[in-house]
A = this chain, B = another copy of it.
């Protein structure tokens, strides 16, 4: 027994959150001009893409963090569940952000909610890093030194959404651009988080 079953719950929630997004893609019934109708729904595709990329990148980062964890306890499980709460709620702000993107001023609260949920994902993730930084006995010795950096990185990632929240009050498209940029930034990153998957091989050449 190790943290294996926590991985199963985490990966399950990530896989389902990623896949449930599809249920909010509109399926217009009896459209006279389906092509036009589908093009008209472009905000749904953008929102799908940004949310999928953000959750995907977060899964990679979480994967990196967890691969350095050798033991878990109840308090850490609870912080992880809080993080999963925000991951699994994402289809909801995504649907609202897409649905209101072209509805004038009402796009603003939708964009605020979207960036707010993303910030909550980021900060609750940082809170997990923090717990492990404060409880080095849960972490593989070789990876301990890197945990303060990992914590800062996750917290900063979460705080960038503050900019997106403020921008949403003025320009929802600019706000979504910041949301998207965070995903792209982390996707493009090469930073070696502790337990990075590349080093996870136990099988030398």
In angstroms, how far is the closest chain B Cβ from the Cβ of A111? 10
- Decide yes or no whether A7 CB sits under 8 A from chain B: yes
Chain B CB within 8 A of A46 CB = no
Q: Chain A contact residues (Cβ within 8 angstroms of B): what range? A: 35 or more
Contacts of A52 in B (CB 8 A): 81, 85, 88
Q: In the complex the two chains form, is A99's CB within 8 Å of B29's CB? A: yes
Contacts known (A5-B11, A205-B137); A22 close to B88, Cβ less than 8 A: yes
Copies of the chain in the assembly: 4
Does A12 touch B at the CB level, under 8 Å? yes
Q: Which residues of A contact B (CB under 8 A)?
A: 1-3, 5-9, 11-25, 27, 29-35, 38, 48-49, 52-53, 56, 59-60, 63, 66-67, 70-74, 77-78, 81, 84-85, 88-92, 95-96, 99-100, 103, 106, 109-110, 113, 137, 141, 187, 189-190, 195-198, 200-203, 205
